[in-house]
Amino acid sequence: MTAIAPGFAAEAHGVVKRFGPIEVLHGVDIAIPVGDARAIVGRNGAGKSTLVSLLTGIHSPNAGEIRLAGQPAPAQGDRRAWRERVACVYQRWMVIPHLTVAENLLLNNQPARAGLVSWRSVRDRAMAALADWELDVSPDLEAWRLTVEQRQIVEIARALLQGSRFIILDEPTAELERKEVNRLFDRIRALQDAGVTFLYISHHLEEIYEICRTVTVMRDGDVVADAPLDELPRDALVAAMVGPGVATGRRQSRPVSDAPVKTGLEIRDLALGDDIEGFNLSVAAGECVGLAGLAGSGKDRIAEAVAGLAVPKAGTISIFGQPAPLGSVAAMRAAGVGYVARDRHVRGLFPQMSVGENLVTTILERLGRLGLISSAKQAATVNDQIRTLGIVATSGEQRISELSGGNQQKAMVGRALASSPRVLVLDAPTQGVDVASKEALYGIIDAAKARGMAVLLVSDDLDELSICDRVAVIFRGRITRSFARDWKEHDMVAAIEGLY
């Protein structure tokens, strides 16, 4: 691109971004004209968030140029200049919980003389903004009392009060109810009519067709498509996101026998949080069922309910026909549930402890009496586990943080298996793991199935889902589609993203 046309709210030219040795953006070009409503879509890891962090000045590119409103982007530390040009409503809360709504609306932007804040003007301006937005809350309310919807409106209104005419919305609807989404969209449309430019990031493709005019598709750190939405039908959009990969679930592993099988895990009429109601799912002994969905779809919370971490409002969970006591991890484990939480770094590993100690945390009571742990018994159990799981470690004494991600993850699965469960719940078990370890983990899952365990695999990773005997897709708390073994990636992605 040689000449830079005026009239663009934001442009990136040949932008490269590396984090350490890993290049996440390989020369991205994007140009968003003033008044556009642009969607950026892509699977996890496509580089959407990185691009947003460059467009909002949180990070600066290693190569290439960012321009805002036709001007080169401000210096990275100059937050004020950035804020005037671009505002971002993040998924995380960006209000200050114990300050009032009025002050949050005018955060670091209070009308002031010689540094002294005029609270009268703060309130007046806040009330005018609240009236404009028809938001029925007192400006004196502390922000932590706001609902998710109100909080988002406060953040958007704040962006506009800072003078920005270009707003980035990062998955704004992830936590909203449908009618709240509609109200948000009405407001976005009104702002679009008033000339505000939007960049909209969402996994919910149906929303993009509702609210956006153009779309940029990213895949593996590149822009792979850039088109008006009315020229890009849904099939083509999903195809661009998925890429020219192979189709269908590849791993036609062991055939399921025709013999009648027992039901291993049965979830009945489960109600959880505000959005999951009457949820049913069953997994037979020796079967692996995938539960696929976006972050926030409810898939992780269902796994937590089976593990005893989340307390359901209603419903039953039965393990091989026996209703299990809900809401207690110890009771669920005693009932026969083994659980591997997603994100081992946050919810799994004890990084300072040895491989062995990490493996036996769930079964300490079996290793000795009166709470005392027999080190001989522990060593025997640990060595046994390391051998059967194929964990590559110098010994059970090695610190687990020294292991590769794949071997750490094997240890996490090993911990779940240590209590000899009959139902195994795995949440994103191969996340951040190399290909060889992935295969090894799949082997461990296959072995568990062969021993008659019921396996529930919660994931949004197509590769993981491909080892499942069947896959249920959950969208906003409801199962919207089920797949037998031979699904196509394209259909699976469309279902996960909410395009049925």
Partner 1 sequence: MSSVSQNTAPMRRSSFASRMKLRDLVLIPVIGLVMIIGSFVSPSFLLPENLLNVLQQSSELSILVIAQSLILICGKFDLSLESTVGLAPMLAAWLMISDTSIGGSGIGINGYAGIGVALLTGLVVGLINGLLVVKLRLNAFITTLAMLILLRGMTLGITNGQTLFDLPEPFLYLGTAKWAGVPASIWIAGVLFLLFGLFMRYHRTGRAIYAIGGNAEAARVAGIPVERITIGVFVVGSLLAALAGLLLTGRIASVMAGQGQNMIFYVFAAAVIGGISLNGGQGRMIGALTGVLLLGLLQNVLTLSSVAAFWIDACYGAIILLALIVTRLTGDAPQN
Contact call for residue 149 and partner 1 (CB under 8 A): no
CB 339 to partner 1: min, Å: 27
Task: Look at residues 28, 17, 10 and name the one whose alpha carbon lies nearest to residue 223.
Answer: 28
Q: Which among 99-107, 247-255, 385-393, 439-447 is the span making contact with partner 1, rule CB under 8 A?
A: 99-107
Contact call for residue 88 and partner 1 (CB under 8 A): yes
Contact pick of 79, 183, 213, 481 for partner 1 (by CB under 8 A): 79
Contact call for residue 352 and partner 1 (CB under 8 A): no
Q: Which among 106-114, 213-221, 398-406, 424-432 is the span making contact with partner 1, rule CB under 8 A?
A: 106-114
Contact pick of 124, 177, 206, 210 for partner 1 (by CB under 8 A): 124
Q: Which among 138-146, 172-180, 406-414, 461-469 is the span making contact with partner 1, rule CB under 8 A?
A: 138-146
Contact call for residue 171 and partner 1 (CB under 8 A): no
Contact call for residue 131 and partner 1 (CB under 8 A): yes
Contact pick of 34, 107, 334, 379 for partner 1 (by CB under 8 A): 107
Nearer to partner 1 among residue 99 and residue 256 (C-beta): 99
Q: Which among 139-147, 330-338, 341-349, 489-497 is the span making contact with partner 1, rule CB under 8 A?
A: 139-147
How would you write the chain as a 3-class SS string?
Answer: CCCCCCCEEEEEEEEEEEECCEEEEEEEEEEEECCCEEEEECCCCCCHHHHHHHHCCCCCCCEEEEEECCEECCCCCCHHHHHHHCEEECCCCCCCCCCEHHHHHCCCCCCEECCEECHHHHHHHHHHHHHHCCCCCCCCCEHHHCCHHHHHHHHHHHHHHCCCCEEEEECCCCCCCHHHHHHHHHHHHHHHHCCCEEEEECCCHHHHHHHCCEEEEEECCEEEEEEEHHHCCHHHHHHHHHCCCCCCCCCCCCCCCCCCCCEEEEEEEEEECCCEEEEEEEEECCCEEEEECCCCCCHHHHHHHHHCCCCCCEEEEEECCEECCCCCHHHHHHHCEEEECCCHHHHCCCCCCEHHHHHHCCCHHHHCCCCCCCHHHHHHHHHHHHHHHCCCCCCCCCEHHHCCHHHHHHHHHHHHHHCCCCEEEEECCCCCCCHHHHHHHHHHHHHHHHCCCEEEEEECCHHHHCCCCEEEEEECCEEEEEECCCCCHHHHHHHHCCCC
In angstroms, rounded to a whole number, what is the distance separating the alpha carbons of residues 286 and 177? 37
Identity (one letter) of the amino acid at 416? A
Contact pick of 53, 60, 62, 109 for partner 1 (by CB under 8 A): 109
Nearer to partner 1 among residue 124 and residue 175 (C-beta): 124
Contact call for residue 136 and partner 1 (CB under 8 A): no
Contact call for residue 76 and partner 1 (CB under 8 A): no
Q: Which among 112-120, 265-273, 371-379, 391-399 is the span making contact with partner 1, rule CB under 8 A?
A: 112-120
Q: Which among 88-96, 313-321, 358-366, 391-399 is the span making contact with partner 1, rule CB under 8 A?
A: 88-96
Q: How many chain residues bind partner 1 (CB under 8 A)?
A: 33
**227-256: which residues touch partner 1 (CB under 8 A)?**
none
Contact pick of 16, 34, 127, 329 for partner 1 (by CB under 8 A): 127
Contact pick of 82, 133, 166, 198 for partner 1 (by CB under 8 A): 82
CB 52 to partner 1: min, Å: 12
Contact call for residue 395 and partner 1 (CB under 8 A): no
Give CA separation, 246 vs 43, 359, 442, 462, 498, in Å: 16, 37, 19, 11, 22
What pairs with residue 63 in β-bridges?
16
CB 127 to partner 1: min, Å: 5
Q: At what angle do helices 234-242 and 489-496 cross, to 10 degrees?
A: 110
Contact call for residue 137 and partner 1 (CB under 8 A): no
Contact call for residue 103 and partner 1 (CB under 8 A): yes
In angstroms, rounded to a whole number, what is the distance separating the alpha carbons of residues 287 and 57? 48
Chain mean position to CA 117: 40
Nearer to partner 1 among residue 115 and residue 255 (C-beta): 115
CB 232 to partner 1: min, Å: 33
Contact pick of 67, 123, 213, 488 for partner 1 (by CB under 8 A): 123
Nearer to partner 1 among residue 63 and residue 128 (C-beta): 128
Q: How many CB atoms lie within 10 A of CB 108?
A: 10
Contact call for residue 490 and partner 1 (CB under 8 A): no
Site string (288-327) toward partner 1, x via CB under 8 A: ----------------------------------------
CB 56 to partner 1: min, Å: 8
Query: What residues line the site for partner 1 (CB under 8 A)?
Result: 79-80, 82-83, 88, 90, 92-99, 103, 107-110, 112, 115-117, 119, 123-124, 127-128, 131, 138-140, 144
